[in-house]
Amino acid sequence: MSTDTTDSTLAQLGWKAFFSDQLSAEQRLECQPVRVLSVHRGRVTVLGEGFEDSIASTLPTPGGPEDRPTVGDWLLIDRATRSLVRILDRTSLFKRPAPGDDRRVQLIAANVDTLFIVTSCNEDFNVARIERYLVLAREVGARPVVVLTKADLTATPERFVAEARALQAGLHVEVLDGRDPAQAARLAGYCGLGETVALVGSSGVGKSTLVNTLRGSDSIATQAVRADDGKGRHTTTVREMHRLGGGVNGGGWLVDTPGMRELQMADVATGVTEVFDDVTAVALECRFTNCSHLDAPGCAIGAAIAEGTLDPARVQRWRKLAREDGENSGPPGLRRSRKQGGKRR
């Protein structure tokens, strides 16, 4: 579409050639693209050129489990009836096995460019959890940025930064007091015009606070963490896209998400291989086929741990994720029940 770059509204919303190329000549005439800002029971709030409304989210011909609109999706709606015609193919889709249900998949967000992996400089900080999110980012092809909040609550923020940086060469790590606009402004570069950033992480780490600070507003509810254990109160309950103002604020979109209790992994073999490329490279050298790399004498992983070139804790985290992926992946009917397959995190 020739209007792609000149049409500021659609461009601001993240409209790209990738999406416009999917429209047939007929759809160009009869349909209008809109982006999903939030999802409610059976309905979606959408924004398009001169159009913001809540529409029914039922597809004319529903298909597989990913065939339903999620936050960040681009939809085609009929100009005349304003009904949903189709979901455009996504540049990326974040999903996870729905907690407590082996058959369903929860769609977290679509068409995300960058993932803010938010954790705080306190008890929440956990390299295994960050690795899980890194795997997810790899799998869908979004740029990961580790955002360490509550830097003001620790005397040694650099310790957290160093631990996070060690997880992946060249990983972007930002550390800040998420309530401070001047510090939060360092994140604006990741969310330029039309770009979409999703914030994920545990409850109480300050995802909504960051969105508020970046927008210069306090419209999203936030809540103090529990005094006894420092855990969040699951304040945010819906996934929602929020627009950033222009100028120093970038002009992009932030998807705020509810804090996750657990992040199970399924269909992420590629992501695991890439995030743990140091471990998988050694595993490939192991001369035993079907080696569990646990304690077989002569195993390459065991040798690398003994030599000090591989961190045993990291190998253990790799093994856990790889096993979990194996258990949760494949056709739903063949999945092992997670209740039997392993303990919940």
Ligand X SMILES: Nc1nc2c(ncn2[C@@H]2O[C@H](COP(=O)(O)OP(=O)(O)OP(=O)(O)O)[C@@H](O)[C@H]2O)c(=O)[nH]1
The reply on whether position 23 binds Zn ion by CB under 5 A is no
Q: Binder to ligand X among 17, 56, 153, 166 (CB under 6 A)?
A: 153
Segment contacting ligand X (CB under 6 A): 16-24, 54-62, 201-209, 335-343? 201-209
Segment contacting Mg ion (CB under 5 A): 94-102, 185-193, 199-207, 326-334? 199-207
Which x/- pattern, by CB under 6 A, does the window 219-248 give for ligand X?
---xxxx------xxxxx------------
Judged by CB, which is closer to Zn ion: 66, or 277? 277
Q: Which does 72 bind (CB under 5 to 8 A by kind): ligand X, Zn ion, Mg ion, none?
A: none
Residue 321 and residue 251: Cα distance in Å, rounded? 36
- DSSP label at 34? E
Judged by CB, which is closer to Mg ion: 238, or 294? 238
- 232 phi and psi angles, rounded to 5 deg: -80, 170
Which x/- pattern, by CB under 5 A, does the window 232-271 give for Mg ion?
---xx-----------------------------------
Q: What is the CA radius of gyration of the chain?
A: 21
Which x/- pattern, by CB under 5 A, does the window 266-295 give for Zn ion?
--------------------x----x-x--
| Strand duo 74-78 + 84-87: pairing | antiparallel
Contacts of 130 (CB under 8 A, 6+ apart): 117, 119, 146, 164, 167
Q: How far is CA 83 from CA 43, 53, 169, in A?
A: 11, 11, 46
Residue 44 β-bridge partners: 39, 55
Residue 206 and residue 203: Cα distance in Å, rounded? 8
Judged by CB, which is closer to ligand X: 130, or 300? 130
The reply on whether position 149 binds Mg ion by CB under 5 A is no
Angle at 267 between CA 314 and CA 270, to 5 degrees: 55
Residue 275 and residue 287: Cα distance in Å, rounded? 23
Provide the minimum distance between the beta carbon of 285 and Zn ion in the complex, in angstroms, as a whole number.
9
Residues that bind ligand X (CB under 6 A): 149-150, 152-153, 177-179, 203-209, 222-225, 232-236, 258-259
Residues that bind Mg ion (CB under 5 A): 207-208, 235-236
